[in-house]
Each structure stands twice: as structure tokens, then as C-alpha cells.
Structure 1
């Protein structure tokens, strides 16, 4: 208070010469404050230390206030004016106003040029009290140059520690996710979520894909995400499938357990889906959570039953075979394929319904790139429309098989090695779905090696039963002997393919 009072008097007097006014004030000015004398050397030191060492005081701002809201005199120095005008900037830099260089210089001048107190005991007593105040207010006294220097040093050290902490956090962020930091300006607040998602195998490239598909998915609270993913794991989603689910449907991280996830799981259970299969359906079609149960999913189910003609008892099997059927425009998919098969093969409605029931993926296949090329292939090998329809009704998954890697090689082996007619496929369409390398060729060669292969066309029925039944019924030998033969054959075929590539 004494220092503030003396500053007020100094500004009011407006003396242009610091030294002359200092001498005048010490000699003549001894007012009383709260009934006590404040003009002694002890209080004189406190009274004049905050005065500027610069002359030529001028009016800067007539209505100025201190950073703490206290009214200040309109008279101030040039450098003080600059300091006050930069207050806003200082506050943005963690209020480091004690580290101002000009302020520290004033403390040094005072510490070097002013005489110490006569009474060392009084000085130490006062210094002890001031240290106690410093712990409470965080501001040191101006009574010694060393004291004020320590203020600057300690505060600067603190700022350096804080700054280093921020720098370290930023460096850790950039070390862990350098590409994210460079490409999308990674916010360090996202790091806990990214670290958690990394436990499911997601990498930096995956996070960039998530950001591009649905940026808010990286801004969700990690605790909320953990709750939702743990719920999905509890209903049967496998840990290894979580990554694929998130990449396909990053919005799933936003769906709440109570208002979304539980209602959709309950919907699947009402369809008759067993608990052991719910996780697989979610993994295959995670987008179903983005559809309303009442306004979208249930109407789709009604359409499949009432319009397509799928039996209610078969609906559970249809959904398990193709969960995507719940999230597509089923009316468009059904009508376009129904019309195509009717015109192309003369297929009756019942046959098409059987196809959809056995292989609902049919509703996803492209007509021009999927259905038509395979139908034309069967035509080109000599099958009539009625035979094609019989094969497709019995084994609709033929429409999903590769022409070059599957259908054509099997047909060539059927004709050239097994000496069968193509019409045999209408009786045993399953032949087209069996593995040429793992079943058809090994069994044929094994019976030939045992000289038990029937004369004429090789019976396709020998490929249908299991390995154990095949050995008992056809080979009349042990299963181990057949498996050893097949293993040697596979190694030999692999060696031939490798030599050909080399």
C-alpha cells in the first residue's frame, strides 16, 4: 500500500527528474498512513521501487486500469505503456507477465543502487513474512534484486516445464501417428480413441479411411466407444471382425447401446436367428444399424413374405445366408431378377422363389456381369433352357462360381477325363460345386490307381459322399491310404504348376 501511495504522489507531482524528486521526497515528505509513520528508510524503499527510471512522463490513456481492474494514473512511461497494451497477448501466453525483461531490469537497478536496511534483523524478519506471502500469492516482494530475479527464474522454469510437456505430447502424437498428423491435422484429443481402436488391428491408413468416410467417428469419447464395442463382442461379434465392421461402417461407433444396438439385436432374435449367429450377421451387414427397425427393416421382412413369397419358416435361413438382403431395395432387386429369369429361361415363379430361398445372394448379383454370362456358358456347352433351369433350381450357387477358374476347368475334366456327357450335370449338379483339386481329381485318380474305376463314363455319384464313405463304398480301403495318396497328388500337381510358372 505504501508503494502504491507513493506512486500516486509521484505521478501527481509529475517531476521530470527522478533523482531530484527522490531527494525532495525523502527529505520533506513524511505523511502518515493508518496512524503510523511511512517516511522511514524501510518504507521509503518500498515506496519508490516501482517508479520508472525513465523521464519525460506523458499521458497515454486517460481511463487506464491495471490488469486487476484497479484505476491507474493517466501518467506513465513509454515502456509501461507498451507493456499494458500487450496485456492480451501476455494472457494468451499463460499470463507470464512476471518474465517481462523490463520489469526484471527495474528490480536489478534497485537492488544494486539502493542501500540496505540498517537493521539486518528487521530486514530478515520482513523477508520471512514476504516469503510466506509468496507461497499464497505466487508473487515475490520488490525489496531485493535477488528476490525479483528468483521470480523470473522460477516462473520461466515452470513455463519451460509446461512447454516441454506440450511439446512432448505433440511429439508423442506425431511419433505414433505421423501420417495422420501430416494429412488431417490430428487433434491430440483423438489419441486415446485411436490407441483403443488400435487394439483391434486398425492402423494409421485405416484411420485415414475412417476420416474420409465419416470424420466425426474419430471425435467420439473413447469410453462411449468402448461400451458399444464391448456390447457387440458380448452378442457374438468376433474380436478379429471388429476392424472390418468399423472400416465398413464407422458410424457404428456413434450408435448408442440402449437406443440403437439393443433394438436391432432384438429384431434379429425375433426373426428366429440363434444367438450363436447374431454376431456373424452383424459382421456381414453392419450397416443394418443405420436402418430404422420400424420404418425399414420390418417392412423389408413383410415384403419378402408377402410379395416375394418366401415362407415365414424359411426367412431365418434366408437372412443367415445373406444378411445384406435386409439393407437393400428388395423390391427393385426382386422385380428386376424375376422379370429377367422369366424371360430368359421361362422360369415359373415357384422356381425363382426356390432359387432365392436356397441362395438369396442371387438378389445381389448383377444381371449383365453375373447371371447372363453363366447362363450363356451352360448354353454353349450344350444345355437347353429347361436343363439350365433344373441345374439352377437345384444348385443356384452355380451363378456365383468363376467361369475361368471353376466352371470351365470342371467341364473340361468332365468331358476329357471322366468321359461324361454334359447332360449328366442335370442329374448331379453338385459336381459343379465340388473342388476339382481336393475331391474330383484325387478320387478319380485313386480309383484308377487301384484299378477299381468302372468302365465307361465315370460315375459322378462317387464324388458326392464323404471321404470315409467313399473309401468304404468305392475304394474298399482305409481312409489313411486315400488321404496319403491325395497328399502326394497335391504335392505333385503343385510342383508342376510351380515349374510351369518358373
Structure 2
């Protein structure tokens, strides 16, 4: 028995006719099918799970459903997360070197809140070197060192090798798949015809555990012709996707391997470019929100953009900047996110709409933050230090990033330094709200201590204006000394504080 439950009435993910849909269901979920005999539940796009049984539940996601609302937190036999939708925690060893496009070591580290307002774990970088994107290795059948083969020549060679014969004419070992991918073979029914694709995808750092996740999310993704897969990935890299980001993209959205270049990928890239997004940023947007390819440009993405302009009030010239800051805004239920936060800020702070629009334009991540765990605690903190609602509104309108900063690691320490060391009143934050975004260790403390050491710190409140300019301007206008002298002082101060923290931990 097949039951279909739609979260929302419209789902642009379904492109097939009703007859082809029925054929798909009968083929994919027939309990008598040898390849699907263990499937108990799945989704239209292949993101379902495993298990036995004859009943099938098809959960159809809406075009704008928030990808973090319906987490199932499933795990494979080996304990790897098998989240149904996009999540930054899907791949714990992702490289995040370029994750923060606007990072600056002298600015505050954001709290990295997820949609539930909780702090997400930082991904640990393994630091392993990736293989060159122009070449990849085919493992020898006897576990000998890899043979380097270039580009399309390698794909053609793989197809010949797995066509039942190896180059020397010996029949393909029937147990080859178990030898090459033992854990994957144990987890799923592995077809030897998939091996050329698996070997190719392995060159992007995709491991057996990742293949299991891809299979669980979209089983047909492992049945794609290796030449077709290479064509699609080559195109993505040609528009700016980095070789090291391919793994993260495919683990989150394995369906991309099945999207044709002409009918899907190019139209979505053209849509992004039409919003005024520079070509140098398109690859980063795809890496952050690969699920955008599963949404129809005409029926989903363009209506979202129209809503941002007509209902939210974002100016068309700012659309490109907003999407660069938060690509997820294209694939979330934007009407719900906007309305709930608009009503909250209006009721809590008396914020007019134009102020809230400014906040969203400067920091669209605001639409992702939890109200109870993200927005409200930070507003209450600003109240607790003596700020009125009108002052809080000024600070948030000028520097909305305050809502992303950690209370314990950023806001509280900087407030204590402001009143105890700099002898300033909290009201000074309304004039210099940027103080809250600056790094305490990299900028605030070094500049203060440097002027004190030179006996150039004024009596009374320390001028917060000296913290805003660049290092060069600070040395010329306030310190009256060379940049090298200040940088050397800052380095010694950082080393000394690091040693003090280390001793306290010991």
C-alpha cells in the first residue's frame, strides 16, 4: 500500500506525469523487486531510508520547506549521520577554509547558530591533499599502486576495464567489488556496474561512508553513467565550484549527478547570474546551497525572488548581495521566516518595517536564526546592560551581525572590557556599535594597551573612535609611530595571553 503525504500543496520537484509517477512507484517500491526488497520508506527524490515491510510512505517536500525542519537524525550501521535534508553536519571532515567569505581576523567570530539557535560544531579539517582535478587513479585489482589516467581518457579506460574484461583479457573477478569497497558492499547490494563511477567519485575524496549516505538519499545516483557524471561535474567546476567542494555537494545533493547540463545546470547558473551575482561567487553559492538545483527556476526560485522584492521590500539592486550573504534564502520557506521575525521584532522592539528590511539586507541570516534561542537572548542581554529598546534598535539596524555573536565568548567579555578597562558607558555603543563586531584579542585590547604603553591614552573614557580605522591610520593618527612597531607589540601581547591561558588550563 502506498500513501502520499504532501507537506504543502505545491511541489515543483515533481516533473513527471502522473502515469510516469505511478510507474516510478511500482518500479522503485515493489517489494518483489530484488534491488528494493528491503525498502520500507522512501521519498520521491530518493532521500528515504531502509528497512523491511510492504507499506510505503512518500513524503513530498514543498518548494520552500526549511531543510532543517524535517531532520530525522537517522544513522547508518557505522554510525554515520543520514540526515534527510541539507545540513552542515553531514560531512564532519569538510574543509571550511573559504566558508566565511567576509572573515577578518580582527573581527568577532560569529556564534555559527543553526536554524534552531544552537551553536553548530566546527568541522575539523583533515588537511589531506586532494588529487589533481585533471587526473585520477584506477586501483589495480591486486591492490597495487594506482595508475594515473588523464581526463576523459581515464573514463573511457574505466568503461573498458569494467566491461567484463581487464586490459590483459582476464575475466573480471566477481569479488572485485567486495575487495575494493568492503564496507559499502556490506551496507548495500553493490552492483559491479557501479564501480567505474565509484572510482571516479573517489578522486574527490568521497569515502565508502559517503557513498552509503548518497545511496540512502538517492539510490539512482550511483547508477549514473560515469561519462555523464564527469560531464556534469566538469561543468560545475567550470563555473567556479572548487574540486574540494564536490564531495560536500554530492553527499548533500547526490541528485546533481542526474541533472543534465543543458536542461538543468545551465538554467540555474544563468538564473544566479541574472540576479547580479558575480561569476566568481557562483561556485561558492552552489557549494553552500546545492539543493537549489532541485527547485524549478520558474515555479520556485523566481517566485521566491519576487517575494523578497514585493513583500519583504528588498531592493532589486541588493538582491545579489543578499543571496551571496545567505544562499539558503532561495530554498527556505521565506514567507514563514519573514512573517514570524517581522512580527517578533515589531512587537519586541517596536521596529518599523524599513528598519527590519535594513537588517535583512545587511544580514539575511537573520531569517534563519531561532527566535527563542537566537534573537531573544541577545536582545535581553543588551537590555540587561542598560540599553533601552530604542538604543537596541539603533544598534541592530546599524550592525545586525550582533545577533550572530556568541553571548559568552563575544558580547559579554567585550562589554566587561568596555566598562572596566576602557572606562566607557554603555551608551557609547549607540554611537560606535561596530565595537561589538571587533575582535577583543586582535584589535580592541592591543590598540588600548599600545596607547597606554606609549602614554598616549587619554584620561577618562577611552576613545572608541581609535578602534575603527585600519592599522595604518591608527598608527598615523593616534599612536604617531610606525606600523611595524605596533604589529610587533600586538604579536608579543597575543603570545603572552596565549601562554597565560595555557597555564590556567594546566
TM-score tier by shorter-chain length is 0.5 to 0.7
What's 1:275 paired with?
A: 279
1:45-444 alignment, distance < 5 Å: 169-444=173-448
1:424 is displaced (CA, Å) by 0.8
Per-residue CA deviation, residues 4-56 of structure 1 (Å, 9 max, x unaligned), is xxxxxxxxxxxxxxxxxxxxxxxxxxxxxxxxxxxxxxxxxxxxxxxxxxxxx
Matched, 1:460 2:464: yes
Structure 2 unaligned regions, length at least 5 = 1-164
Question: 1 CA distance for matches of 2:382 and 2:184?
Answer: 51
Question: 2 CA distance for matches of 1:347 and 1:223?
Answer: 55
Which of 490, 496, 499 pairs up with 2:494? 490
Question: 2 CA distance for matches of 1:490 and 1:175?
Answer: 51
Per-residue CA deviation, residues 125-175 of structure 1 (Å, 9 max, x unaligned), is xxxxxxxxxxxxxxxxxxxxxxxxxxxxxxxxxxxx99x999963444333
**Bigger Rg, which one:** 1
Which of 496, 500, 503 pairs up with 1:499? 503
Per-residue CA deviation, residues 175-222 of structure 1 (Å, 9 max, x unaligned), is 332211111132222221111111111112211221222222111111
**Residues 452/172 of structure 1: CA separation in 2 closer, same or farther (3 Å cut):** farther
**Residues 339/166 of structure 1: CA separation in 2 closer, same or farther (3 Å cut):** farther
Per-residue CA deviation, residues 393-432 of structure 1 (Å, 9 max, x unaligned), is 0000110111111111111111111111111111111111
Question: 1 CA distance for matches of 2:170 and 2:389?
Answer: 74
Q: How many residues align?
A: 341
Question: 2 CA distance for matches of 1:424 and 1:217?
Answer: 57
Question: 2 CA distance for matches of 1:268 and 1:252?
Answer: 17
Question: 1 CA distance for matches of 2:176 and 2:458?
Answer: 72
Decide which structure has greater helix share: 1
**Residues 477/166 of structure 1: CA separation in 2 closer, same or farther (3 Å cut):** same
Question: 2 CA distance for matches of 1:253 and 1:301?
Answer: 26
Query: Is the partner of 1:169 in helix, strand or coil?
Result: coil
**Residues 166/330 of structure 1: CA separation in 2 closer, same or farther (3 Å cut):** farther
The structure with higher relative contact order (CA 8 Å, sep 6+) is 2
Question: 2 CA distance for matches of 1:222 and 1:323?
Answer: 29
TM-score by length of 2: 0.65
**Residues 171/474 of structure 1: CA separation in 2 closer, same or farther (3 Å cut):** farther
Question: 2 CA distance for matches of 1:442 and 1:177?
Answer: 54
Question: 1 CA distance for matches of 2:444 and 2:358?
Answer: 27
Question: 1 CA distance for matches of 2:272 and 2:346?
Answer: 32
Question: 1 CA distance for matches of 2:353 and 2:460?
Answer: 39
1:235 is displaced (CA, Å) by 0.7
Per-residue CA deviation, residues 94-114 of structure 1 (Å, 9 max, x unaligned), is xxxxxxxxxxxxxxxxxxxxx
TM-score by length of 1: 0.66
**Residues 452/255 of structure 1: CA separation in 2 closer, same or farther (3 Å cut):** same
Which of 474, 477, 502 pairs up with 2:478? 474
What's 2:130 paired with?
A: none
Structure 1 unaligned regions, length at least 5 = 1-160
